[in-house]
Amino acid sequence: MKKSLFLLILITTLVSCGGDNQTVDAVINSGDMTAIKAKRAEMNKQQRELKAEIDKLNQYIETHERKERPALVTAEVIKDTIFKHYVEVQGNVETDQNVVLNAEYSGVLTNIYVKEGQRVSKGQRLAKIDDGGLSSQVAQQEAQMALAQTTFERQQRLWEQKIGSEIQYLQAKTNYESAKNVTNQLRAQLAKTIITAPFSGVVDEIISDQGQVVVPGQTPIIRLVNLSNMYVKASIPETYLKNITKGTQVKVKLASINEEFTGKVRQVSNYINPNNRSFDIQVEIPNKDGLVKPNLIATVKVNDYSAENAITVPENILQENAAGETIAYLYQPVNDSVGIAKRVLLETGLSYENHTEVKSGIKKGDTIIKEGAKTLRDGQKVTIKN
């Protein structure tokens, strides 16, 4: 408003005086159109020149006033906190009780006693393979063993009574032990025709059909799974080996089922994989609802560093000077509304989730400038927003 009024006064003065000391009214009263137009052109030129000079003055004033005006910033009083850094890797859900039971005896799969989805107990009979007459051989061999045992026991009693020869006693003993060994071998072979559950779990899949000919070590019969003992297995770069031990805190996220768990490392591998220079860890996870399945992808965050009473600052307010040093600005009050920005050099540590630990350079109770810090200079006047 003051600038416009000043401009109006100057223009009025020019109009009143004129470039040739002849007033506008006098020129108009003369009726000379050429003189009138010339007067107008002269005054327009003077107006443009005057406006240019006024713009220069305005620009100078605004520039210097802006330099003196405190910069508007936001600030935060520094508090100590517990700082934790996590290394994030991808893991896989596994269980040691997820097995495929294969045939251990050649023959026809005569019976399957369970259905898919059925819960079974350890030792429960699941399927049977035709023994091809092996059970008859076992019965015959058991009869022979019983006879050899009776003969040996009688010969032993006679020998204890000093009746008979030592050779008769030893022959009876040898025959009995030989028959016993053969019987045990046949029984072991016969047991392979019965497929039983090695642990309690759920029949996840019946792979072979009843009536199918099966071959030992080549024909899978049933998949049995127990989901009560689940764990996550993950590979960690070897550079973190000294920071991760049994009992280290871990966060596990299973995005596919939208579940998160907090646990501890239950096992650290003693072997470094030469292909990717990493070691494996295992983290036990609960599975009350049975939603956790083998081979689910897991995001694993392992706490490799923790510090109590740590000083942390937002990562985005940190800057670097020409020497590569990390700097930030503190707010130092001058009066109730204005302060100055003080540049400080910082020694920083690890960063996690957009916060960086500061080892030295600032302390608890300092007020650090956040928004607006990127454009400040050391000693500049600032005022805190709100």
What pLDDT is stored for residue 41 in this prediction? Answer: 86
Rounding to the nearest 10 degrees, give the CA dihedral for residues 183, 184, 186, 188. Answer: 160
The mean-pLDDT minimum among 2-16, 178-192, 217-231, 273-287 falls in: 2-16
- The pLDDT tens digits of the residues spanning 134-192 come to 889 999 999 999 999 999 999 899 888 888 788 888 999 999 999 999 999 999 999 99
Helices 2-17, 33-68: axis angle to 10 degrees equals 150
What pLDDT is stored for residue 159 in this prediction? Answer: 85
3-state secondary structure of 119: strand
pLDDT, mean of residues 289-301: 92
Measured between alpha carbons, how far is 246 from 123 in angstroms, rounded to an integer?
A: 34
- Token code pair at residue 241: 């080996």
- Token code pair at residue 172: 């009876």
Confidence of residue 65 (pLDDT cuts 50, 70, 90): low
DSSP secondary structure string, 328-350?
EEEEEESSSS-EEEEEEEEEEEE
CB 356 within 8 A of CB 312: yes
Helix (H) or strand (E) holding 60: helix 33-68
CB 314 within 8 A of CB 329: no
3-state secondary structure of 50: helix
What pLDDT is stored for residue 7 in this prediction? Answer: 47
CB 65 within 8 A of CB 333: no
Residue with tokens 């898919």: 116
- CA-nearest of 304, 379, 385 to 349 is 304
CB 58 within 8 A of CB 4: no
- CA-nearest of 75, 62, 78 to 340 is 75
What pLDDT is stored for residue 3 in this prediction? Answer: 47
3-state secondary structure of 271: coil
- Token code pair at residue 194: 């019965």
- The pLDDT tens digits of the residues spanning 337-386 come to 899 999 999 999 999 999 999 999 999 999 999 998 888 889 999 999 86
SS3 track for 195-220: EECCCCEEEEEECCCCCCEECCCCCE
Confidence of residue 20 (pLDDT cuts 50, 70, 90): low
What pLDDT is stored for residue 14 in this prediction? Answer: 46
| pTM summary value | 0.62
What pLDDT is stored for residue 30 in this prediction? Answer: 82
Query: For residue 15, is pLDDT > 80?
Result: no
The mean-pLDDT minimum among 1-5, 195-199, 318-322 falls in: 1-5
What pLDDT is stored for residue 149 in this prediction? Answer: 92
pLDDT, mean of residues 204-227: 92
pLDDT, mean of residues 20-41: 81
* Average pLDDT in the chain: 88
Strand partners, 328: 344
Query: For residue 252, is pLDDT > 80?
Result: yes
pLDDT, mean of residues 44-72: 79
CB 108 within 8 A of CB 245: no
Residue with tokens 């779990």: 201
Query: For residue 8, is pLDDT > 60?
Result: no
3-state secondary structure of 361: coil
